[in-house]
Structure 1
Amino acid sequence: MTLLGLAFNSLRFRRGSFAATFINVFLGAVVLMSFASLFDTAGGVGVSSADASSLTTIAAAVGGWGLVIVGFGVASTMNLSVRQRQAELALLKATGAMPSQIGRIIVGEGAAISIMAALLGIVPAWLIGRVVLDALTSTDQIADDVSYRFGPLALIAGLSTTLLATAGATTISARAAGRVTAREALSQAATDGRSIGRGRIIAGGLLLVVGISCALTTATVLKDEGFTTLSVAGQACIASAIGLALLSPLVLRGLIRSVELVTRPLTGAAGYLATTAIRQRTGQATAITMPVIILTGLAAGTLYIQKIQNAANAADGITVSADDKGVETLNFIIVGMIALFAAIVLINNCVASLLARRQEFGLTRKLGATPGQILRAVAFETMFAAASGLALGTISAAIGIAGFQYGRTGSLRLDLDAVPYLAIVGTVVVLAITASLTAARRSLAAPMIDAAGVART
């Protein structure tokens, strides 16, 4: 059997991981192609230079950050999938497979999923792109006579960026898997003990510095620069969120020791199972934490930055222009789509990580744990990962909000409504707990003896 055939055969037996990655890539392709269609629309007949410039700017801005966020979401799912397959990869290495061959298997799977997902995303992207243009014209940011076009630029830009994001994500996962020896892979299959790489720490630190720098620039250099100030403040939230997401494994490992000391007397056996699982499988916990950080940082940051802008305009007696309304509408559209993508990544990662633990749950039941204890342990793990993500996401949002607040009002004093933030927290908790407990119950539905010998996902 060829390596590509082996890759496809592996996908057939790992439907859970395949579905999670497929959905993430599909939604990412829809987001990227829908906004890339604005390039085609900008090049249409009769489009004014001002409208063409606005459409191109919007498409480029969303495409750039969309590529980063989609790539990040796909990378988290691919990394989770690779971690779940350490025993399989160890067996391949033990039978003589080279690291480059292991890499080609992983990249081949990613490419196959990416192509299928991107092609199926064309029709939804066409529909959503039309909705985006309608929103722009309804707020008078684009002339009403601009006709929607979904052409080669949307397909080329959308498909190429989707493939680029997936290729980058799978290449990183493949390189990490290729560096692990067969003996290490077998031990990591049980403990998920791979340490965080130096490159990841450096990248996370640099992005965090970029986010803080954008916030400082917003507070000092870009005071009252309108859309530019809003844009840079938003970039501060995004860069900080991605940086903290990359560093989240270090945070989880540091927090779990303190949490264990406090909660162990209160949670009993379920708490012991949960804290042990988090220590040994930090990578799976961060698969939940990372999309929560992105979702919280981006949603909270954008919502409150816009609220600060509106409140400052009202205090100064400034009449909101059509352009300002258009910017606000555009912000909500962009953030809504990317936040939806992050939310679905969260659900997929919760489900994929728990379905892959069917064998672990079966062995735990053989050792005497009850299904109720396992479910409580899963709830504890999920709440810990989600709460950590909410805390780090809040920090990333606060970086951008503080910079914009000072630059717009000259003060760091905030008087904001807590309802939007509480809505974000509630949404994250409900999504994470519902997805995790549903997947855990499905894993526990199998007979104990059968589950203890099943490793498929």
Structure 2
Amino acid sequence: GTARASGRWRRLGGWAALALGTAAVCATFTFDATDPALMAAPAYGAILLSVGLAVFSPALLRVLVDRLERPLGTLFGASGLLAVQNMRRRATQLSGVLMPLVLFTGMATGTLYMQAIENDAIDASGLTRSVEDKNLETLNLTVVGIIVVFSCIMLINSLYAATSYRRREFGQQRLAGATPGQVLGMVGVEALVLTVSGVVLGSAAAVAGILPFSSVRASALVPDQGLGTWLGIVAVAAAATLATSVATARRTLRTPAVRAVAVTA
């Protein structure tokens, strides 16, 4: 049917993005260290890899949930087990949340670290940054800013819609014996797993672009910039995901369970 054809085209697009992203990242090694276009190849490569990983995020999420079932049950009890069951069943729907999360993490991490490596390389050479260098940095930061804002808005909207839509599900769980606290805990665990998944996939795409760029531009495979920028990006992703999910679920749980089930049945 239409859904199957759409899924096939989506998978083809995902494989194409991964292949083109890998080719772009590998093309980094064909440039000289001082080539003005050096940053373009790994930056575009990281973006395409982010897109490809985002497309396949539902399948990757299922694998991660299977691995985390026992630890989540041990750490969070009933809330953890409820979260595992729901995420297995709703992995495809959750891709709408994972995609902006992966794109946000991958693009922001890749671009900001590459720009920092470029700035440090210019400073280490003893040269003064030209107007063109400063304009390029401003452009890069502006593009990242736009992507970050757009991805965050998309992420928050997706989470709000997905959580609000579950009013009936929450009501059924409460009627089956789950307390509001356990349901709220389940949503929190789901948000935590989503954050970890999105950050891991996005970071993998970013690192695939950062390491070749650092190797060519700074003659060092591992950059010296440290984890500060990445931790800031992770903090923003976690705050947006957890705050939106839990706040929306708390609001949804104000509706009595019987009425929540009856109204949306």
Question: Any conservation in 2 of the 1:214–1:233 contact (CA below 8 Å)?
Answer: yes
Indicate the residue corresponding to 1:260 in structure 2.
Answer: 69
Q: Is 2:229 the partner of 1:420?
A: yes
Q: Is 2:98 the partner of 1:294?
A: no
1:404-415 equivalences under 5 Å are 404-415=213-224
1:23-38 equivalences under 5 Å are none
Q: TM-score, normalised by structure 1?
A: 0.56
Q: Deviations over 1:287-333 (max 9, x none)?
A: 22111110011111110000000111111112110000000001111
What is the rounded CA distance, in whole Å, between the counterparts of 2:49 and 2:113 in structure 1?
16
For residue 390 of structure 1, report the CA deviation from its aligned partner.
Answer: 0.3
Indicate the residue corresponding to 1:331 in structure 2.
Answer: 140
Indicate the residue corresponding to 1:200 in structure 2.
Answer: 10
Query: In structure 1, which of residues 214, 220, 224 is the aligned counterpart of residue 24 of structure 2?
Result: 214
For residue 220 of structure 1, report the CA deviation from its aligned partner.
Answer: 2.5
The one-letter amino acid paired with 1:247 is F
Query: In structure 1, which of residues 364, 367, 383 is the aligned counterpart of residue 192 of structure 2?
Result: 383
Question: Any conservation in 2 of the 1:224–1:407 contact (CA below 8 Å)?
Answer: no
The one-letter amino acid paired with 1:248 is S
What is the rounded CA distance, in whole Å, between the counterparts of 1:455 and 1:213 in structure 2?
49
Query: In structure 1, which of residues 373, 376, 385 is the aligned counterpart of residue 182 of structure 2?
Result: 373
Question: Any conservation in 1 of the 2:31–2:38 contact (CA below 8 Å)?
Answer: no
Q: Is the alpha carbon distance of 1:224 and 1:454 closer, same or farther for their aligned partners in structure 2, counting shifts above 3 Å?
A: farther
Q: Deviations over 1:274-295 (max 9, x none)?
A: 0000000112322221111100
What is the rounded CA distance, in whole Å, between the counterparts of 1:248 and 1:224 in structure 2?
36
Indicate the residue corresponding to 2:255 in structure 1.
Answer: 446
What is the rounded CA distance, in whole Å, between the counterparts of 2:264 and 2:41 in structure 1?
46
Indicate the residue corresponding to 2:56 in structure 1.
Answer: 247
What is the rounded CA distance, in whole Å, between the counterparts of 2:222 and 2:195 in structure 1?
28
Q: Deviations over 1:126-159 (max 9, x none)?
A: xxxxxxxxxxxxxxxxxxxxxxxxxxxxxxxxxx
Query: In structure 2, which of residues 61, 79, 83 is the aligned counterpart of residue 270 of structure 1?
Result: 79
What is the rounded CA distance, in whole Å, between the counterparts of 1:205 and 1:368 in structure 2?
44
Question: Any conservation in 1 of the 2:46–2:106 contact (CA below 8 Å)?
Answer: yes
Unaligned 5+ segments in structure 2 are: none
Please give the secondary structure, in 2, of the residue aligned with 1:399: helix
Indicate the residue corresponding to 1:351 in structure 2.
Answer: 160
Please give the secondary structure, in 1, of the residue aligned with 2:74: helix
What is the rounded CA distance, in whole Å, between the counterparts of 1:354 and 1:453 in structure 2?
18
RMSD across aligned positions (CA): 1.7
Question: Any conservation in 1 of the 2:50–2:107 contact (CA below 8 Å)?
Answer: yes
Question: Any conservation in 2 of the 1:358–1:454 contact (CA below 8 Å)?
Answer: no
Question: Any conservation in 1 of the 2:163–2:249 contact (CA below 8 Å)?
Answer: yes
What is the rounded CA distance, in whole Å, between the counterparts of 1:377 and 1:436 in structure 2?
10
What is the rounded CA distance, in whole Å, between the counterparts of 2:48 and 2:217 in structure 1?
21
Please give the secondary structure, in 2, of the residue aligned with 1:453: helix
What is the rounded CA distance, in whole Å, between the counterparts of 2:32 and 2:79 in structure 1?
51
Query: In structure 2, which of residues 30, 35, 52 is the aligned counterpart of residue 225 of structure 1?
Result: 35
What is the rounded CA distance, in whole Å, between the counterparts of 1:203 and 1:231 in structure 2?
21
For residue 222 of structure 1, report the CA deviation from its aligned partner.
Answer: 5.2
Larger Rg: 1
Q: Deviations over 1:212-259 (max 9, x none)?
A: 211111123354211x21222211111010010001111001111110
What is the rounded CA distance, in whole Å, between the counterparts of 2:237 and 2:100 in structure 1?
10
1:86-97 equivalences under 5 Å are none
Unaligned 5+ segments in structure 1 are: 1-98, 100-174, 181-195
Question: Any conservation in 1 of the 2:72–2:81 contact (CA below 8 Å)?
Answer: no
Please give the secondary structure, in 2, of the residue aligned with 1:414: coil
1:76-91 equivalences under 5 Å are none
What is the rounded CA distance, in whole Å, between the counterparts of 1:430 and 1:219 in structure 2?
37
1:7-18 equivalences under 5 Å are none
Larger relative contact order (CA 8 Å, sep ≥ 6): 2
